[in-house]
Amino acid sequence: MSALIVLVLASARSEVARGNAAFEKGEFDEAVERYAAAKSEDDSSLEIDYDLAAAYYKKDEFAKAEEKFRAASMSTDETLAARAFLGLGNALVKQGKLKEALASYRSALELDPEDERAKHNHELVRLILDEVEKLAEELKKKLEELMKKMAELAKETAELASKQAGVLRDNWKTAPESKGPVLTEDEAKDAVEKLKQGEEPGPEFEEKAARLAAEASGEGKPVEPGELARREKDVSAGSGTLAEESARLASEFREAFGGAQVELPYPEKLERAGGHLRSAEGNASEAVQTLEGEAEAPERFRSAEPLEGRAMTDILAALRELMQPPQPQQQQQQQEEQGEQEKEEKRNEVSKAEAERWLEELKQEERKLRKDARERLRPDRLVEVEKDW
């Protein structure tokens, strides 16, 4: 029996020698085949596990290299175990498992505190991890900052809608015959169903909804065309200003997250809002020209009313882009009759869901940053695994 064992071990050593020769020539497929054959002859050899790990690593098969380096790291031979932990750290880095890699390099240094390779790689990965965590925190703060700006923009747009509602309301109070069609109960229900299905209600609904919003803003008072023109000028100027703010904020989002794998919807929403606001600016400006025209006052009111209505529609469309929609289930619940306390609780739930979504986006961004960091680990920066026995 002992003679058989000697023969088996001799055969394993022969396969290892052939594997080593192939490894030195850069023939790593052949090396893996020879080491695997040796392992089948001597299954208990952790040195052969290390050889296999080194060959897999050179073949860029890092998951297999990780498995074999882990096996070799269990050796009671501290020299072998330290080298295995070094190789394991490198294989983990190549897979983007930076925190695990750091722990592996630390284990290598515990066994061999003077190993310059492990020191170098440990420090390199530690610095990259610090950079990733710093960038992730900066991105989180930047996203919160931009979302606050977007919320403020929505607030200003809502205030602009209120001003335009007042213009329409006072136009109708002065010239009742200029008042257009209003939204019926059935039309409102139909629009709600379309919105629940993710469909657009259509421009006619938008126009009637604008008039409904104006009616809800108060009683109204008779005004002179000049006064109404002045107020409409303010709306036109305000629309232009908010359109510029929307464009600037969209650029800020793209500058901060342009290279991210996560596709944030906010730049597109801001650009669409800006487009609506530009349209509102144009319609309000035309309404001003009409109100300042040469026609009789009643005619000016009648002619300005459709333009004022379209401006109102545009502002409401912009506001819709700037507001964050709740989840479908929350939409359903919000349609039910609720007390003021229940409504507040629901708003908090929406905010919580939004915050959780932001955090998930940041996690995905962090994964992207880790990938970028991994790609920066070029061979001239990461001390590669050596098979030096």
Q: What is this structure's pTM?
A: 0.57
**In whole angstroms, what is the distance from residue 26 CA to residue 129 CA?**
32
Residues 6 or more apart from 143 whose CB is under 8 A from it?
256, 257, 358, 361, 362
Identify the structural domains of the chain with CATH numbers, from first to last: 2-114 (1.25.40.10), 142-347 (no CATH)
Residues 6 or more apart from 194 whose CB is under 8 A from it?
200, 201
Helix, strand and coil percent figures for the chain, each rounded to 5: 80, 0, 20
Beta strands in 70-126 (DSSP E): none
Whose CA is closest to 104, among 92, 120, 116? Answer: 92
Report phi then psi at 179, rounded to 5.
-70, 130
Q: What digits encode the pLDDT tens for the residues 45-96? A: 889 899 999 999 999 999 999 999 999 999 999 999 999 999 999 999 888 8
Amino acid at position 117, single letter: R
Amino acid at position 321, single letter: E
Whose CA is closest to 366, among 129, 94, 126, 105? Answer: 129
Whose CA is closest to 389, among 72, 44, 71? Answer: 72
Q: pLDDT of the chain along its 389 residues, tens only?
A: 344 444 445 667 888 888 888 888 889 999 899 888 888 888 888 898 999 999 999 999 999 999 999 999 999 999 999 999 999 999 998 888 888 999 999 999 999 999 998 998 898 888 888 887 887 788 888 888 998 999 999 999 989 988 988 888 888 888 876 666 565 666 666 666 665 566 666 666 666 666 666 666 666 678 898 999 999 999 999 999 999 999 999 999 888 887 555 567 889 999 999 999 999 999 999 999 999 998 988 899 889 988 888 898 899 889 888 885 433 333 344 444 455 555 545 444 444 454 455 445 545 555 555 555 545 444 445 555 555 53
**In whole angstroms, what is the distance from residue 314 CA to residue 244 CA?**
15
